[in-house]
A and B are shown apart, each in its own frame.
Chain A
Amino acid sequence: MALSTPESEPRLFSGGSGGLRTIVLCIGAIALMYLDNRNEHLADIRAMFGELLYPLQQAVDAPFAAGRWASDNMATRESLISDNAKLREQALRQSGQLQRMAALEAENARMRALLQSTARVGDAVVVAEIVTVDMDRLRHRVVINRGSSNGVAEGEALIDAQGVVGQIIRDRGTSSEALLITDPDHALPVEIVRNGLRTFAMGTGDLERLSLPFVARNADVKPGDLLVSSGLGGKFPAGYPVGTIIDVRGDTGEALLNVLAKPTASLDRVHEVLVVKPPPPAVATTPEEPPSAAAPAATEAAQ
């Protein structure tokens, strides 16, 4: 930098070769990382700048959106007719099931009233679309085109037609970031439909795999068992399908089973999702009745 050719001449505010500036910037970056890792002071800043970058994400998504639009528009008459027929049949079948559902729901509410337990209410939903951009390399995060201005909030669950997709982790105003259930950082309280066994489903980093690391050796788990969200923890509404168990392996000498499940939602193809609002706080904060299994155990211990 001693040679002061026009191009290598330092800029006005750089000290010499830019060393001082670099040190200041590095300290700034480290301070940002520290703050970001420790707490949520930066949430607003992230939201603001994330919103600034949203047009870029939309621009990247645009060709894909155009492709979807084109394939929607160029669908032939025959395929539209057959699609329509299929959908009508599906709607008929589902409305048939729903008729029973209304009666069952009423019956459920009456029985819960008898048990003096709170009634579950239907969940409110917002329809959202996933913006086609890649986020951090192999982490499973997506951007959706709804934010707090559309009545969506952090912590709410995403589902598609088949099951749970993920949850919103960062709200940016008109868009938000969501974590898929297969992200290695994600854990979801689930229960097995067949016997009500409660455990956690953790992401593995593979879109086709969930892992259940906390299942005891003697637990009753079989391949084919359906997992649904248990609603414990208060974030995910209860009762949505999460995955199907595909593999149960236990090495002798280990206390826990090695259980793998496959998500029911098609996470690699999902495009439209529903954001499910959590149940109203009055319902969510009602303490669960003490598990009945604990009570006999306690009395036995007393005897």
Chain B
Amino acid sequence: MSPLTLWGSLVGALALAIVPLTDLLEPLRPPWITMAIIYWTMVWPRLCGPLTAFVMGLALDLLYGSLLGQHALSLTIVSFITLWFHLQIRIFPLWQLTVTAFLLMIVDAFIVFWTDGIAGGPDLGLARWSQPIAGGLAWAPVMALLDNLRMRSENRSSRFL
């Protein structure tokens, strides 16, 4: 377990979340932060959990200019659900894992949708729901990438300790 790998990938995900996209591609931007939080909570629950998710959510709120605490709330809850089931999810075959991650991203989008509704946020239309779908499609390659990062960091730490 390496905090450097965790935070490095999370900052990378934050950068991807704000890279400018054209209006056409914008609805297809996967929720990178949510995906990274789900993955790291699942594999390194001692290092990444609701607290990490809360911090990343606040960062996202500041970057997006949304209501402070909106993404913090949704990511904390997503991380908690993942933490609760992490021993089961971890041994799922890839397709089940993809479906689970997709459902968790829907939960995340729904909480943001819900708080937007209460606070009188804008109507984002279908983009809100197409992003988790894009996330579900991107889950397998993203997970392969993060798995690779994790293997490297675990090998390195075992080599040096």
**Smallest CB separation, A170 vs chain B (Å):** 7
Stretch of A28-36, A218-226, A295-303 lying at the B interface:
A28-36
Number of A-B contacts (CB under 8 A): 131
CA distance A137 to B125 in the complex (A): 11
Q: Are A33 and B50 in contact (CB under 8 A)?
A: no
Residue-wise interface mask of B (9-27) relative to A, using a CB-CB cutoff of 8 A (1 in contact, 0 not): 0010011001111010010
Q: Does B84 sit within 8 A of A, measured CB to CB? A: yes
Q: Which of B50, B67, B80 contacts A36 (CB 8 A)?
A: B67
Within 8 A of B (CB), among A150-196: 170, 177, 183-185
Q: Which of A11, A26, A60, A135 contacts B76 (CB 8 A)?
A: A26
Q: Are B83 and A33 in contact (CB under 8 A)?
A: no
Q: Does B51 sit within 8 A of A, measured CB to CB? A: yes
Q: Does A266 sit within 8 A of B, measured CB to CB? A: no
Q: Does A120 sit within 8 A of B, measured CB to CB? A: no
Q: Does A17 sit within 8 A of B, measured CB to CB? A: yes
Given contacts A9-B46, A11-B46, A49-B58, contact A32 B65 (CB under 8 A): no
Q: Are B73 and A29 in contact (CB under 8 A)?
A: yes
Of all chain B residues, the one with the shortest Cβ separation from A37 is B119
CA distance A30 to B72 in the complex (A): 9
Q: Are B63 and A139 in contact (CB under 8 A)?
A: no
Residue-wise interface mask of B (80-105) relative to A, using a CB-CB cutoff of 8 A (1 in contact, 0 not): 10011011000000000000000000
Within 8 A of A (CB), among B100-127: 115, 119, 122-125, 127
Of all chain A residues, the one with the shortest Cβ separation from B87 is A8
Of all chain A residues, the one with the shortest Cβ separation from B1 is A7
**Smallest CB separation, B109 vs chain A (Å):** 11
Residue-wise interface mask of A (29-54) relative to B, using a CB-CB cutoff of 8 A (1 in contact, 0 not): 11111011100001001100110010
Q: Are A8 and B51 in contact (CB under 8 A)?
A: no
Given contacts A26-B73, A30-B73, A185-B122, contact A53 B59 (CB under 8 A): yes
Q: Which of B15, B62, B79, B131 contacts A60 (CB 8 A)?
A: B15
Given contacts A7-B44, A184-B122, contact A29 B76 (CB under 8 A): yes
CA distance A137 to B122 in the complex (A): 10
Q: Are A137 and B45 in contact (CB under 8 A)?
A: no
Other A-B contacts than A32-B69, A138-B124, 17 sampled, CB-CB below 8 A, are A3-B87, A7-B45, A11-B49, A17-B83, A18-B50, A21-B50, A22-B80, A29-B73, A32-B68, A33-B73, A46-B68, A57-B63, A133-B20, A134-B19, A135-B18, A137-B124, A137-B131
